[in-house]
Amino acid sequence: MSSPFDQIIVSEEWENSDVSLLETLDHVLNRGLVIAGEITISVADIDLIFLGLNVMVSSVETAQDLLRKRQTETIAE
Amino acid sequence: MKLYAYCLVEDLDTLDVPVRGIDGAAVRLLKIDEFGVLVSDGESDAFPLTKESAVAHDTVVRSVFDRRTLLPFRFGSVVSEQQLRHYVATYKPALKKSLAHVRGCVQMDLKIIWQYTKPAAGPLPEEDRGPGTTFLEKKRRELLGDERQVAEKTELSNLLHKELGDLLRDEQIELQPSKTAVLAAVFHLIERANTARYRENVQEIRNKRPDLKIRLSGPWPPYSFVNIELEFKSQFGVS
């Protein structure tokens, strides 16, 4: 699946860190002006998924959960 | 060519110091009408979604935060220059209104853990429950939960306003209730000059209410006070 919007490569580098980092992530991921209506995320170069920009992308696990859900839905169709 | 957008700034004509953004890319100032937008160039749409990228986004925003009024873009805002210009043209009145709202201000965050003193409403007594009773009980729990959340938000807001009220230009409270406690995320917009006083007054709240666990952070760029899309929708009825 391709998108005219942003393509973001999700790396496996997310890890637990201190609270200030989490707060920074909370701000930049969940808040701020939204330009485009959606973005596309590529998880480990395997697939692409669309996310509304109001969706919180808190970790690679979140993205992978969404990817798994999407794959399940695709299979079900 | 794609642009990664970090923030929209007013009254900025040049970047005094070189700034590096996501993936080490050079950040430049793109002038659109009377606004400046901090951007970096990329050949493709892709960039690494790592904590380093997220921190780099915040670092670029902060590079002008102490000198200028700005509206941060959300992480992951990769657009063409045409899209960006169209966005600014479309939302210009709302952008100006938002800039006026946050001018000279910083965002302060409070994370508050608040233990309940009263138990949550329990279920109705076990009797012969038909589907109607079950439905009504579910509705009752929802209503009580909503009422309780409104009451908690009001109580917390009143408490904070007693000590901080004269410092606040705007406030947002998000509650995450559980059975035993409430975790409240409170975002305050205050004038930059009042930062020290705000900290002192939060310490006063800590002293008066040792039952509350309060974590204070800031000053932050006004990430939580720039949601112009919602204002645009409510103003023009667009969904």
Whether the pLDDT of residue B220 is over 60: the answer is: yes
pLDDT at residue B62, as a whole number: 95
Tell me which of A2-11, A26-35, B76-85, B114-123 is least confident.
Answer: A2-11
B45, B48, B223 ranked by CB distance to A32: nearest: B223
Whether the pLDDT of residue B137 is over 60: the answer is: yes
* B181-191 sheet: strands from edge to edge: B168-177, B181-191, B105-115, B212-220
Q: Which contacts (CB < 8 Å, 24+ apart) does range B23-30 have?
A: B23/B47, B23/B48, B23/B53, B23/B56, B27/B60, B27/B63, B30/B3, B30/B81, B30/B84
Give the confidence band of B145 by pLDDT, cuts at 50, 70, 90: low
| Sequence-distant (≥ 6) Cβ neighbours of residue A55 within 8 angstroms | none
**Would you tell me which residues 8-47 of chain A have a C-beta closer than 8 angstroms to some C-beta of chain B?**
8-11, 13-15, 17, 19-21, 23-25, 27-36, 39-42
* Residues of A whose CB is below 8 A from B8: 33
Find tokens 């050079």 and name the residue: B26
A24, A34, A57 ranked by CB distance to B58: nearest: A24
* Residues of B whose CB is below 8 A from A42: 46
Two tokens at B122? 């329990």
Which residues partner with A73 through β-bridges?
A: none
The mean per-residue pLDDT over the stretch B198-213 comes to 92
Dump pLDDT digits (tens) for A23-73: 888 888 778 888 764 454 544 444 344 444 433 344 445 555 655 666 676
Question: What is the C-alpha to C-alpha distance for residues B206 and B214, in angstroms, rounded to an integer?
Answer: 7
Give how far Cα A24 sits from Cα of A63, B88, B202, B239, Å: 19, 26, 21, 30
A3, A8, A21 ranked by CB distance to B47: nearest: A8
Enter the pTM of the model: 0.72
Question: What is the C-alpha to C-alpha distance for residues A18 and B129, in angstroms, rounded to an integer?
Answer: 49
Q: Who has greater pLDDT, B180 or B34? A: B34
pLDDT at residue B127, as a whole number: 59
Whether the pLDDT of residue B181 is over 70: the answer is: yes
Q: Where are the beta strands (DSSP E) in chain B?
A: 2-10, 27-32, 35-42, 46-49, 70-72, 78-79, 105-115, 168-177, 181-191, 212-220
Question: What is the C-alpha to C-alpha distance for residues B236 and B4, in angstroms, rounded to an integer?
Answer: 28
**Would you tell me which residues 129-188 of chain B have a C-beta closer than 8 angstroms to some C-beta of chain A?**
none
Whether the pLDDT of residue B72 is over 50: the answer is: yes
ipTM of the complex: 0.75
Flag whether residue B55 sits within 8 Å of chain A, measured between CB atoms: yes
Flag whether residue B214 sits within 8 Å of chain A, measured between CB atoms: no
Task: Quote the mean pLDDT of chain A.
Answer: 54
Question: What is the C-alpha to C-alpha distance for residues B71 and B65, in angstroms, rounded to an integer?
Answer: 9
Measuring CA to CA, which residue among B21, B102, B120, B13 is closest to residue B63? B21
